[in-house]
Amino acid sequence: MGSAVRPGGAVLFDDEHQGLAAAYDPAKFYNDPRLYRTIGVLAAVWLVWVLGGTRLKLPETRVPAPREAELVRATGGFLARVLHPAAAARRMFEHFFRRLAAGSRRASPGAGPPWGWLEHHPRLNRAEVQQLKDWYARACSGERVPLARLHNLMVRTERQLDT
């Protein structure tokens, strides 16, 4: 110990771990300059670590929100894997007939497909109405129907009826 302690230095032993001893002097402990040097060194090391070693604010990584077309494409891809084209075509025809009934006074919603009304409508091409009838018959019999072409024909028919 003599080689580790300078002249006039002291070595402290804590033999009383179980609480405060009668020899404990808090004023002497808090008046010791080594306490404040230790606290200062610890504060300086902590400050260097905080300012230099860590990022206070992580850069934000924003994942762009999917666009509407991407959402529609993803939903369509999901439905294409689980939905039979004939079932999709039947549902498309149901909505088509419902929109026709809502937009006109002649087509009644509960009377079935309004083929007679569509065939005699002056704005509609008879070949397109016949194509709709053929695809409707194929969809009802469970055969495959070209959904994109069916959709385009339905949209074109509705536009012709609206003009």
pLDDT in tens, 55-98: 667 778 888 888 999 999 998 888 888 888 899 999 999 999 99
Q: Is the pLDDT of residue 110 over 80?
A: no
pLDDT reported for residue 16: 61
C-alpha pair distances (Å), 93 with each of 28, 29, 139: 94, 90, 9
> Considering the chain, what is the average pLDDT of its residues?
85
Instruction: Using the structure block, give the residue that is written with the tokens 């016949």.
Output: 130
Q: Is the pLDDT of residue 106 over 80?
A: no
C-alpha to C-alpha distance for 81 and 30, rounded to whole angstroms = 76
User: Which amino acid type is present at position 46?
Assistant: W
Q: Is the pLDDT of residue 1 over 60?
A: yes
Higher-pLDDT residue of 19 and 72 is 72
Cα atoms in the 13 Å half-sphere on the side-chain side of 75: 7
CB atoms within 10 A of CB 135: 21
C-alpha to C-alpha distance for 89 and 80, rounded to whole angstroms = 12
Burial of 96 (0-12, 13-18, 19+ CB in 10 A): buried
9-24 average pLDDT score: 70
In this prediction the pTM is: 0.53
- Read off the pLDDT of residues 26-59 as tens digits, 9 standing for 90 and up: 888 889 999 999 999 999 999 988 888 766 677 7
Q: Is the pLDDT of residue 149 over 90?
A: yes
